[in-house]
Structure 1
Amino acid sequence: MRVGVFYFPTDYGIDIAELARALEERGFESLFVPEHTHIPVSRKTPFPGGGELPKRYMRTHDPFVALAFAAATTRKLLIGTGVCLVPQHDPIVLAKVIASLDLLSGGRFVFGIGGGWNVDEMENHGARYETRFKLMRERVQAMKAIWTQEEASFHSDMVNFDPIWSYPKPAQRPHPPVLLGGETDHTLKRVVAYCDGWFPRGARGFNPVEAIERLHRMATAAGRDPATLTTSVFGAPPDAAALEGYAKAGVNRVLLGVPDKDPDEILRTLDKWAPLAAAHAA
C-alpha cells in the first residue's frame, strides 16, 4: 500500500511546487488535488459537509495547471485529480489536457473523477444534475477512444463526433488509470463498468475489510476480475494502526488530507507523517 496526500492548492497556501518537492523528499507516493471551476454566489446548493463552505473551495487553482507545476519540479511523485468534475468539461479538450500532462510528466497522472455535488456550478457549464452520471460515463468513454485510437470517433446520446486526430497520446497505455469517487452501490456499479479503480472516502465508519469485500463481490457478479480494480482511500486517518488495517484489507493507496494552514505548519505536518509513508513504501 502506498501513502499519498490530497491538498486544495490555493492562492493563499503553500506553493504547489514546494509542496510537491517536500512530498517527494519525504517519500510520499502521490499528490492529488480537487476541482471547482468556480463557486456560484447564490449558494443554493448546501455544502455536503454541513455548515459554511470552507474558504478553500472558492480559492483553489485549476487542477491541471497546478499538477503541471508539481510534475515539473519532481521526478517520481504521482499526480492526480481528486476529483475532476468530468460533467463540467468538453471531452475532446480534456482528453488533450490529460494526454499532454501524462506524457510531459513521464506517465505519472492518475485520473480521479466524480459527478459533482454543486448543482448550480455544473448547470453554469450546461450540465444537468439529473443526468450528470450518464454524461460522465459517455465523456470518459469518449476520452478513452481519443487516447487509444489513431482516428477516434464516438457517438452516444450525449457525446458525438466523427473521426478526429488528437495528439499527443498518453504515456501510460492504454491510458491513465480512471478512479471513481463515491461510496454507494451505484458508484461501485460504475467502477466495475468502466473504471480502473475505486476512490471512496475514509470517513468515520468506513470499514476497509467490508469495503473491499463489497467491491470484489460486485465485480465478480458483473463478470469482472476483482484483481483488475484498485482501491484508493481519500481522507484516510493519519494513524499507524488504522493504516495497517487498510493495508491488510487490500487497499492499494491512502491519501492523507494536508491541512489548510500556513506553509511552515504544512511542512511540520509532513515531517510528522513521513514515517507513515516510509512504513508502507516497501
Structure 2
Amino acid sequence: MQVGVTMFPTDYAIPPHELAIEAESRGMDSLWVPEHSHIPTSRKSPWPGGPELPKRYYDTYDPFVSLGAAAVVTKTIKLGTGICLVVQRDPIHTAKDVSTVDRLSNGRLLFGVGGGWNAEEMADHGTAFETRFKLMRERIQAMKEIWARSKPKFSGEFVKFDEMMQWPKPVQKPHPPIIVGGGFPHGARRAIAYGDGWMPIGGRGGDPLDWLPRFRQMASEAGRDPATVPFVLFGLAMQESEVKRHRDAGVDHIVFMLPSEPRDKVLPLLDQAAALKRSL
C-alpha cells in the first residue's frame, strides 16, 4: 500500500516545494494539493465536511504552479492534484498545465479530478451545477485527445475545437493517471467509466472499506481489471490500527491530511506519517 500526504498550500503554511522535499526525504509516495480558484462570499453551498468552511479553502495556491515548483526540487515522489476542478477550467489550458508538470517531474504527475461542491464558485466560471459531471467527462475526453494526438480536434456538447496542435505531450503515455474523486456509488462509476483510479474521502457517507469490494465488483462487471483502477483513500486518520486495517483490506493508496501550518507544526506530523508507512 502506498502512503501520501495532502495539504492546502497557503502563504502562511510551509511552501509546497519545501513540503515536497521533506516528504520525499521521508520516503512518502505522493504529495497532493487541492484547488479552489476563489470562494464567493455568499456561502450558499454547504461544505460537505461540516458547518464551517475552513479558511484554507479561501487561501489555497494554484495547484499546477505549486506542483511545478515541487517537481523541480524532487526526483521520486508522485505529485497529485487532489482534486483539480476541471469543471471550472478551460480544457485546452488545463491539458497544457498537466503536460507541463508531467514533463517537469519526468512523469510523476497524478491527475486527480472532481466535479466539486460549490455551485456559486462554478457559476462564476460559467458552469452549471446540475450538468457539471457531464461537463467533467467531456472535458477529460477532450484533454485525452489533445495528449494523444499531434493534430487533435473535438466536437461535443460542451467542448468544441477544430484541428490544432499543442505541445508538450505528457511523459506518461497515453497520459498521466486520471484519478476520479467522489463518493460511492456515483464517483466509483465515473472512475470506472473514464478514470485510472478512484479517490473518495474517508468519513463521508460511510466506511470506505464497505465500498471497496463493491467497487472492484463494479469494475469487473464493466470489463475492467480492478487492478488497473486503484482505490486511493483521502483523509485517513494517522492511527496505526486504522492504517493496517486498510492495508489488510486491500486499499491501494492512502493519503493523510496535513494542516496549513508552518514547518515547525507540519514536520512532526510528517514524521508521524513516515513512521506509519515504515510500520506497514
Determine if the TM-score, normalized by the shorter chain, exceeds 0.5.
yes
For 2:234 and 2:98, the matched residues in 1 are separated by 21
Stretch moving more, 104-113 or 198-207: 198-207
CA shift, 1:193, in A, is 0.7
- 1:172 aligned partner: 172
Structure 2 CA distance for partners of 1:153 and 1:228, relative to 1, 3 Å: same
For 2:102 and 2:78, the matched residues in 1 are separated by 10
For 1:47 and 1:185, the matched residues in 2 are separated by 20
For 1:267 and 1:223, the matched residues in 2 are separated by 43
**What SS does the aligned partner of 1:83 have?**
strand
Aligned amino acid, residue 262 of structure 1: P
- 2:16 aligned partner: 16
Aligned amino acid, residue 82 of structure 2: G
Aligned amino acid, residue 24 of structure 1: E
- 1:201 aligned partner: 201
For 1:127 and 1:205, the matched residues in 2 are separated by 26
1:250 partnered with 2:250: yes
- 1:133 aligned partner: 133
- Is the CA contact 2:187–2:200 (under 8 Å) kept in the aligned structure 1? no
- 1:59 aligned partner: 59
- 2:119 aligned partner: 119
Alpha-carbon RMSD across the aligned residues, in angstroms, is 1.3
CA shift, 1:18, in A, is 1.4
Aligned amino acid, residue 235 of structure 1: G
User: What are the superposed Cα offsets for residues 128-178 of structure 1, whole Å, 9 maximum, x if unpaired?
Assistant: 000000000000010011101111111111111121111110000110000
User: What are the superposed Cα offsets for residues 60-98 of structure 1, whole Å, 9 maximum, x if unpaired?
Assistant: 000100111111111111110110001001111100110
**What SS does the aligned partner of 2:53 have?**
coil
Equivalenced residue count is 280
1:227 partnered with 2:227: yes
CA shift, 1:272, in A, is 2.2
CA shift, 1:205, in A, is 7.3
Aligned amino acid, residue 121 of structure 2: E
**What SS does the aligned partner of 1:176 have?**
coil
Stretch moving more, 172-181 or 183-192: 183-192
Q: Percent identity?
A: 50
Aligned amino acid, residue 272 of structure 1: Q
Gaps of 5+ in 1: none
- Is the CA contact 2:6–2:255 (under 8 Å) kept in the aligned structure 1? yes
